[in-house]
């Protein structure tokens, strides 16, 4: 007998493929060192918030309007993000940026999600510890790669579905929306 949860969403940003490969490689290394396999299946997203459908229809705009709506969120995230250190939060390892993601980015993400009919979820299942970094492991600390940075990324909204029985939990992620940002390099 399965118990299914629906209408849970994650809003975050995802870098280009060469950077997501670094995140996945870190997770694979953690798994090889004895971490749990669930670390492998999560998207390589820097989470800006967990949200739930407030009971109505999800009102996502078409792609061009979505990119336009995300402009204030793009502006709230530093143009260049550099990653070189791990931080332990709530028993998990996160690759975190310098400078840190400013609080304004989380506030803008919440406002944007509310305009789509979503409300912030705050519970022990989806802790604030997950915000502002890339999840790379649980019980094992992977090696930190050489420092890297990126300018280009996309704001992505994922829907999460979980199924659970007495022995297993499965998690399914569906990408609902994507708005790319192409930044101009200043250096």
Q: Please tell me the CATH code under which domain 3-181 is placed.
A: 3.90.1140
pLDDT, average across residues 93-119: 91
Which helix H or strand E contains 10, and what residues bound it? strand 3-15
Which residue has better confidence, 88 or 63?
Answer: 88
Spell out the domain ranges in the chain: 3-181
* Beta-sheet pairing, 153-164 with 81-89: unpaired
pLDDT (0 to 100) of residue 187: 45
Cα separation, 42 vs 172, whole angstroms: 9
- 2 pLDDT higher than 50: no
Which residue has better confidence, 71 or 124?
Answer: 71
| Average pLDDT of the residues of the chain | 82
- 62 pLDDT higher than 90: no
Q: Are 36 and 138 in contact (CB under 8 A)?
A: yes
pLDDT, tens digit, 9 for 90 and up, residues 111-137: 999 988 898 887 655 567 788 999 888
Q: Please give the full DSSP string across 109-131, using - where no structure is assigned.
A: HHHHHHHTTEEE--BTTB-GGGT
Q: Which residues contact 45 (CB under 8 A, 6 or more apart)?
A: 10, 12, 13, 14, 134, 156, 158
pLDDT (0 to 100) of residue 37: 77
- 184 pLDDT higher than 70: no
pLDDT, average across residues 6-30: 87
């Amino acid at each position: 007998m399965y118990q299914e949860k629906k209408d849970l969403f994650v809003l975050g940003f995802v870098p280009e493929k060469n950077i997501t490969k670094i995140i996945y490689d870190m997770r694979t290394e953690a798994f090889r060192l004895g971490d749990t396999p669930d670390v492998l299946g999560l998207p390589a997203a820097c989470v800006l918030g967990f949200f739930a459908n407030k009971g109505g229809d999800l009102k996502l705009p078409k792609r061009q309007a979505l990119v336009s709506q995300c402009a204030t969120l793009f502006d709230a995230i530093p143009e260049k993000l550099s990653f070189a250190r791990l931080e332990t939060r709530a028993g998990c390892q996160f690759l975190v940026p310098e400078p840190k993601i400013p609080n304004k980015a989380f506030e803008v993400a919440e406002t944007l999600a509310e305009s789509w009919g979503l409300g912030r979820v705050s519970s022990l299942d989806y802790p604030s510890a997950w915000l502002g970094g890339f999840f790379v492991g649980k019980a094992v600390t992977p090696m930190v790669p050489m420092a890297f940075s990126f300018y280009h990324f996309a704001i992505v909204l994922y829907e999460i579905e979980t199924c659970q029985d007495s022995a297993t939990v499965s998690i399914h992620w569906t990408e609902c929306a994507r708005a790319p940002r192409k930044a101009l390099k200043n250096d």
